[in-house]
Amino acid sequence: MSPLDTLTLRGIRFYQRWLSPRKGFRCAHAALHGRESCSGAVARIIREDGVRGGRPRIAARFAACRAAHNAIHGGSPLAVGSSVEARGVCCLGPVPIPFRCG
């Protein structure tokens, strides 16, 4: 594991332990699909492929989270009838995406 991988994983662990529990909302992908959050998925990808090698998979995960956000926010049939309740700002790259649903 490279120093970049180690540093990135430490940052993710810090975020998961100290920031995420206090922010009051969850990842749109996890809210819609009930699976692991983006931070958990990205940490797993980094452990498997490293930061550099995992870039395509990380980008794909963020794209899937954007699609989940759009499904929740836009009233997609994917969210109709579900008990999804999500609000806050989805931390996808450099642009925060505010949303509220439910």
Contact (CB, 8 A) for 62 and 91: no
For residue 8, what are the domain limits? 3-101
Quote the CA–CA distance of 22 and 1 in Å, as a whole number. 30
pLDDT at residue 73, rounded to an integer: 81
pLDDT at residue 58, rounded to an integer: 95
Total tally of structural domains belonging to the chain: 1
Quote the CA–CA distance of 37 and 35 in Å, as a whole number. 7
pLDDT confidence tier of residue 93, bands split at 50, 70 and 90: very low
C-alpha torsion 64→70→75→77, nearest 10: -30
Quote the CA–CA distance of 66 and 90 in Å, as a whole number. 8
The answer on pLDDT for 80 being more than 50 is: no
38, with CB counted inside 10 A (0-12, 13-18, 19+), is: buried
Give percent of the chain above pLDDT 90.
53
pLDDT digits 0-9 by tens, 23-49: 877 889 999 998 899 999 999 999 999
Q: pLDDT higher for 24 or 62?
A: 62
pLDDT confidence tier of residue 22, bands split at 50, 70 and 90: confident
